Amino acid sequence: MHIAVAGNIGSGKTTLTKMLARRYGWTPRFEPVDNNPYLSDFYADMSRWSFNLQIYFLNKRFREVVEISKSKDYIIQDRTIFEDAKIFAPNLHDGGFMSDRDFDNYTDLFDLMMSLVKLPDLMIYIRSSVPNLVAQIAKRGREYEQSIRIDYLEGLNKRYEEWIETFKGNLIIVDGDHVKFEASLADFQTITDQIDSRLYGLFPMEDTDK
């Protein structure tokens, strides 16, 4: 079983992934951030390092998806391969940080990978406004994130919403501005109640979150 958590930078994906892994006994797979050899360079010079960074993420996440598909465990994944290709890479390309040549190369590789994988059994998307994202990023204090521009986050948010509108799989949307799952047990339970219904209910709910 493959459960995935999606959302913009600072939306709380890792926190929710950890909480759900503990709650259900699922195996967590976390986004490769701290050991990423490109991330600091990317935030310092996005044009120079955007292609390298996106290929790094694509490689890591495709490997994860293949491993998950072969596993019989319940696995919850922090960020998905779809976000890299549908949100981050196009946003960099449109912003002039990735050349047409590099973007076409990246897209061809992603399309090949997609012919070999399937959608997660459940996607959990944390929707969050830019002010909330900025507050969360400042709170966690990662040095390399302090140079992230507001317009960059706004562009990502726009692409997330466009992607979610077209997502065809099993989907739960969490209002990250108002559902404070880290601080409130009741708020966290609103998420687990939806998960229980989608994955374990006798009659799984229709997708009414869009």
Q: Given its phi and psi angles, is residue 79 left (phi above 0), alpha (psi -120 to 50 degrees) or beta?
A: left
Phi, psi of 8 (to 5 degrees): -70, 170
Rg (CA), the chain: 17
User: What three-state secondary structure class fits 168?
Assistant: coil
* Contacting residues for 72 by C-beta, under 8 A, at least 6 apart: none
**What single-letter amino acid sits at 11?**
S
Clarify whether 100 is annotated catalytic: no
Set 34, 41, 73, 78: catalytic member: 78
Query: Residues with catalytic annotation?
Result: 78
